[in-house]
Each structure stands twice: as structure tokens, then as C-alpha cells.
Amino acid sequence: MMIPPFPKFVDTPPPAMSDKTEVAEPGATSSQAPPATSTSQAPRADLPPDLANLTDEQISTLTQEITDSYTKDVPLVGPFLPISVLLDEFKDNEPFKRKITGLAEKWGGFRRTARNGNCFYQAFAYAWFDHLQRLGDKRIRDEIFKIQDTAKTLEDAGMTCMVERVC
């Protein structure tokens, strides 16, 4: 059974929130339209002058563009590489070389992950699926049933389902 490649995820910034929230009294009705929210913010003293007047939304967009610029061509999980690649990269760093040599006693290689803030989850999921794939279709089905049972248990305990069921 072949596992399909991981999709690239796109994080969208949360909607801008107003720091002024009006709460209506229970049972009260209002014929007035809600007040318009202001998008202007005071300049931020903790930022350089050319960035001080940016809104939080603009900063979030700029941050995402910067992240995209160094991760757009990087796969979420890269190809299997031999440990010797790390030894070559850290050839001038003796403490690292000793640690890498220790890794080489147990592991034959590694895969790089995109440095996008989700690298742990991507690496964990990939390793889990890779392991299941080696065990066969029956084991994959067993794991899917475990996940479904866990989701049902969480829902029974009052947790809301945040992921659309696909199985």
C-alpha cells in the first residue's frame, strides 16, 4: 500500500479582533447598528520605525511571506539520507561528530523536515505512517479503528470533533 505525499498546509492569519467588545444585557434589544471598528493602531515602540505603523494583520502577512520565502521549495519531509551526510556537515564540530557517531550505531539515516513550525508533527506522522506501511494493510486498518474509537470516546466525554471524518 502506497502512502500519498503530504499536502502543503497554508496557515491563514486569524481575523483581526477589536479590543472593544460590547456585551448586550440579556433580553435587551437594540435598533442601533453596532459601532464601526477602527483599524488604526498606535505605532509600536518595540519595532523599527519603518515597521512601527504596520497593523497586526500586516505584520502577520509579512511574517507569513518571510516564512514562505524560505520554505516554499522545501518538501515537508525529505528523502532518506545516510548519517554520513551529517558527519560531513559537522566535520569541524567534534562534540556533534561524537553525538552523530552515537546515532549511527542505531540508525542508518535520517530525513530532513521543513522548518515551518510543524516539523515535529510532520516527522512524527511520517515516521508513524512509514512504520505502519511496513507492517501491512491489516495493521493500518487496526490503527484506523483505534483512531475512530478514540474519537468516539472523546466525543462521549464532551469533546467536540474538530476534524472531519474521512474513514
pLDDT digits (tens, 9 = 90+) for 54-101: 888 888 898 888 877 777 777 888 999 999 999 999 999 999 999 999
Quote the CA–CA distance of 58 and 51 in Å, as a whole number.
Answer: 10
- Which sign does the torsion angle of CA 85, 119, 134, 102 carry? positive
The sign of the CA dihedral 70, 74, 78, 84 is: negative
How many other CB atoms are found less than 10 A from the CB of residue 71?
15
Task: Specify the pLDDT at position 89.
Answer: 93
Q: Which pLDDT score is estimated for 92?
A: 94
In degrees, to the nearest 5, what angle opens at C-alpha 7 toward C-alphas 4 and 9? 160
Average pLDDT value for the chain: 75
pLDDT greater than 90 at residue 38: no
pLDDT of 7 reads 44
The C-alpha angle with vertex 163 and arms to 158 and 167, in degrees rounded to 5, equals: 105
The residue type found at 11 is D
Q: What is the pLDDT of residue 106?
A: 93
d(CA 144, CA 163): 14
pLDDT bucket at 39, cuts 50 / 70 / 90: low
What pTM does this model have?
0.49
Between the alpha carbon of residue 104 and those of residues 99, 101, 113, 131, the distances in Å are: 9, 5, 19, 19
Can you give the pLDDT at residue 63?
Answer: 85
Residue 107 phi/psi, 5-degree rounding, is -120, 140
**Assigned C-alpha cell, 32:** 442601533
* Residue 18 confidence (pLDDT): 44
Q: Mean pLDDT throughout 147-167?
A: 73
| Residue 119 binned pLDDT confidence (cut-offs 50, 70, 90) | confident
